[in-house]
Structure 1
Amino acid sequence: MQFVDQIGRETTSFPKSLPALTSVRFVLALGVVLFHYQLQWPWNAMASTGIFNRAGLGVDAFFILSGFVLTHAYRQALEDGQLNYRRFLAARFARVYPAHIAVLGFVLVMVGAGTLIGAEFDRRLYNPLGLLTTVLLVHAWLPETVVAEWNGPSWSLSAEWFAYLAFPAFAWIGLVLARRPWILLALSALVFVALDLAYQSVFGDLVVHAQLNMGILRIIPEFLYGIGLYRLGQRVQLTRRQAIGAAWLSAIILLLLMHFKADERVVVAAAGPLVLSLALLSKSGADRAVARPSMLAAGEASYALYLVHMPILIGWKGVNSALTQRPSAYVLAWWEVACLLMLTLVVAFAVHFFVERPARTWIRRSTDRLWPASSAKPTIAPGPQRSDI
């Protein structure tokens, strides 16, 4: 392993494409799906393994990934002080909103239909004010005073949107501490510990359980963690064998921690080395196995998978409970779990290919007409020259 002094050297540059970080998104999203399924199926998974329960922390891994990937995508613009904030937010809007609104529209229709036929569900969870805050993606910004359960997983989109809006501040910290990534990582750990203690004191729970109730506190240190990992990765060069070994070792350690039901905060911390080691596969030219078109396509559809799985699960149980006269809290049979998973995957790919991608393309073309890239003006004060970072 080689450490270098200046980020400007060729050996410190990540390649433009990091396919392993795209492919792993599907695994993380599927983990969140299985986390919610294990609350519904007949097997008491926690008696045998903690993997399914800890898989819900895939959301935290996504937060770490966001900090890492956005720093990578905008590294040059940030270092040159040329980040166009309007174009950045437009790109993030194009990434998040089309699928979010499409799925929210489906839930609205589902709730309306359920109300008309007198289906059994808690109508307090689907109120107009909660719908408004969900549409605006602000429902995880404040202490929970309004129930906003229109699509449970969307709380993390609210947290992501907050991080996007605050990206210049995150990026500035990353630039100032770019030459000292260990300090950046220590800062993220310190912020995490401070927020965890504060959240326990105020709400009586761990910060990794924060969702609708101040969920933004969960992303702040983890997004910063991702930025720190990226800056560290710029200063590390591995051989192909070392990179492959690091990826396997970090994955095995993470799975063992999950299996043995380690503290959730430890599991989140262990997700960081996996993100970094997967990126280093590309840096060392050892990412061929994770760059297959099918894996990349699955990774691209992971966002849709994450969004659609809960509405489909709730709709499935609602319809079946109405048809069979069972309470809606009934336990799923194994055949139902298998059918649900297949249906969810099909719908996720359909949403990705027929809603998410076309809408994203249209929004970005509209952005190019409104704010051409050539007219980008610095919105962040120029940082140190690359050779000095």
Structure 2
Amino acid sequence: MKPRPPRIARGGWLDALRFIVGALIILYHFREASPVPLPQLHPVFDRGYLLTDFFIIDSGYVLARIYGDRLAAGQASLRAYARQRLLRVIPAHLVVSLILVAIVGGAALAGVAPSNPRWFDWSQLPAQVLLVQAYGVPGGQGWNAPTWTLSALIGCYLLLPWICRVLWRWPPVAIVIGATLLVIGADVAATLWLGDPIYRLPMRYGVLRALPLFLLGVAAAFYGSRVYVPPRRAGAIGVGAAVALVGLQAFGAFSLLSLGLMTVIIWAAGAVPVLRRSRLVEHLALMSFAMFLTNEVSRIVWFGLLDALGQDALSAGVRWALWSIGFIGAFVAAAVFRYAFDRPVQTWLNPSRRAGSTRRSAAATERAMELAAGPGVAAAARPGQAVIDPPRA
């Protein structure tokens, strides 16, 4: 018998990648708030759009590995699948949005004005709260801007059953080639008609940006579930792709090629079996969704407070120390949100987890759901100035 590709599992390289990229996303959002803006040290710090694209590709890969065969065969309940995907995202999103509104609204009542009022235009809030800002709907700018990724990915999640039914009829290599050509063609079309390449379209075109990249991840998943590659070879390919990606970024963006290398890295991480599951890596990866949702709020609160206290008068060394505390604090806030709110709410929203006869199956489902949830970053560089300043004349 031919060896079969391993199933993806928690606590391995896929989880490690999610946390590493999630940490880089926080660094990207904090880049302009440092005493010396990080892009002045190297332009790579302004390429956060590639981190967003990583998570879009990764979401397609993970969901297709978990659900693809059952969705393609019509063996999974579409209603249950859609419910799982929506409930995984929406409650946490609404709570974080409410927290941000309370902070900004409370500051306004206290007479403290935002330093960037355009990022807190109340007319922009409804589209963002409703997660429709990625579909050309007016509004959705500012506030917790990275949520445009969730808006776009919800559409991709809901399309996945039909995507799998179509793609699973074709040979794996043909699907990979087709998905690659689709991304290249979408990039040419986006550049000609919308004025931006596919990999950094603004949030109002978010679904047009996300869908080809999501399909690229789905194609990698189908290939990874059908074509066996010895783990050592897959690991070597993944390491080689990672080295090449870092080398390219040292000299320039090379965005399309970087997308391909990131896809290879994700595929390779899934092709290497998890022989020794790391509980620490698993927990860090499960925290990545909370990191995505809360890091903007952490940045707003921390640097708004520092500006109100007059941080500009402090020495560079002290400001770097305070910046580092804020950066680390974003991880702490994400952990608190994850374990104090998100995890208990997900347990409560899944009644089957409380039934003894189905507890093990439901717990596995929740782990699969959380493995598939991923963060993102804003579509374009957003100034990292503090949001709340002392009142000015």
Structure 1 SS opposite 2:32: coil
Structure 2 SS opposite 1:11: coil
Is the counterpart of residue 137 in structure 1 residue 131 in structure 2?
yes
Structure 2 SS opposite 1:140: helix
- Name the CA distance, whole Å, in 1 between partners of 2:43 and 2:308: 33
Contact 2:238 2:265 in 1 (8 A): yes
The alpha carbon displacement at 1:332 in A equals 9.6
Structure 2 residue aligned with 1:187, among 178, 194, 201? Answer: 178
Partner of 2:4: 12
Deviations 1:4-23 (A, max 9, x none): xxxxx762343252532122
Tell me: CA distance 1:239–1:14, structure 2 relative to 1, closer, same or farther (3 Å): closer
Structure 2 residue aligned with 1:153, among 116, 136, 146? Answer: 146
The alpha carbon displacement at 1:115 in A equals 0.9
Structure 1 residue aligned with 2:220, among 222, 229, 232? Answer: 229
Structure 1 SS opposite 2:6: coil
- Name the CA distance, whole Å, in 2 between partners of 1:331 and 1:265: 38
- Name the CA distance, whole Å, in 2 between partners of 1:331 and 1:132: 41
Alignment root-mean-square deviation, CA: 2.8
Contact 1:154 1:307 in 2 (8 A): yes
Amino acid corresponding to residue 252 of structure 1 in structure 2: V
Contact 2:132 2:151 in 1 (8 A): yes
Farther-moved stretch of structure 1 (247-256 vs 62-71): 247-256
Is the counterpart of residue 342 in structure 1 residue 341 in structure 2?
no
Partner of 1:172: 165
The alpha carbon displacement at 1:247 in A equals 2.6
- Name the CA distance, whole Å, in 2 between partners of 1:103 and 1:332: 30
Amino acid corresponding to residue 248 of structure 1 in structure 2: V
Contact 2:126 2:140 in 1 (8 A): no
- Name the CA distance, whole Å, in 1 between partners of 2:261 and 2:317: 33
Partner of 1:380: none
Amino acid corresponding to residue 15 of structure 1 in structure 2: R
Unpaired stretches in structure 2, ≥5 consecutive residues: 359-393
Is the counterpart of residue 333 in structure 1 residue 337 in structure 2?
no
Contact 2:347 2:353 in 1 (8 A): no
Contact 2:27 2:327 in 1 (8 A): no
Deviations 1:111-133 (A, max 9, x none): 11121122232444334443222
Amino acid corresponding to residue 305 of structure 1 in structure 2: M
Amino acid corresponding to residue 249 of structure 2 in structure 1: M
Is the counterpart of residue 317 in structure 1 residue 299 in structure 2?
no
The alpha carbon displacement at 1:58 in A equals 1.5
- Name the CA distance, whole Å, in 2 between partners of 1:325 and 1:45: 18
Contact 2:127 2:140 in 1 (8 A): no
The alpha carbon displacement at 1:175 in A equals 1.3
Amino acid corresponding to residue 128 of structure 2 in structure 1: T
Partner of 1:61: 54
Partner of 2:81: 88
Farther-moved stretch of structure 1 (37-46 vs 244-253): 37-46
Is the counterpart of residue 216 in structure 1 residue 210 in structure 2?
no
Farther-moved stretch of structure 1 (126-135 vs 339-348): 126-135
Amino acid corresponding to residue 57 of structure 1 in structure 2: L
Contact 1:199 1:205 in 2 (8 A): yes
Unpaired stretches in structure 1, ≥5 consecutive residues: 1-8, 373-389
Amino acid corresponding to residue 30 of structure 1 in structure 2: A
Contact 2:238 2:269 in 1 (8 A): yes
TM norm structure 2:
0.81
Contact 2:57 2:213 in 1 (8 A): yes
Tell me: CA distance 1:14–1:174, structure 2 relative to 1, closer, same or farther (3 Å): farther
- Name the CA distance, whole Å, in 1 between partners of 2:200 and 2:77: 34
Partner of 1:293: 279
Contact 2:126 2:139 in 1 (8 A): no
Is the counterpart of residue 263 in structure 1 residue 254 in structure 2?
yes
Deviations 1:228-273 (A, max 9, x none): 1112112332334323322321221122122222322222221000
Tell me: CA distance 1:138–1:332, structure 2 relative to 1, closer, same or farther (3 Å): farther
- Name the CA distance, whole Å, in 2 between partners of 1:331 and 1:191: 49
Q: Sequence identity of aligned pairs in percent? A: 26
The alpha carbon displacement at 1:49 in A equals 4.0
Partner of 1:308: 294
Deviations 1:318-371 (A, max 9, x none): 2222222869xx9993112211122111110111112111111222227999xx
The alpha carbon displacement at 1:176 in A equals 2.4
Tell me: CA distance 1:183–1:368, structure 2 relative to 1, closer, same or farther (3 Å): farther
The alpha carbon displacement at 1:169 in A equals 2.6
The alpha carbon displacement at 1:207 in A equals 2.1
- Name the CA distance, whole Å, in 2 between partners of 1:118 and 1:265: 47
Structure 2 SS opposite 1:205: coil
- Name the CA distance, whole Å, in 2 between partners of 1:73 and 1:147: 31
Partner of 1:103: 96
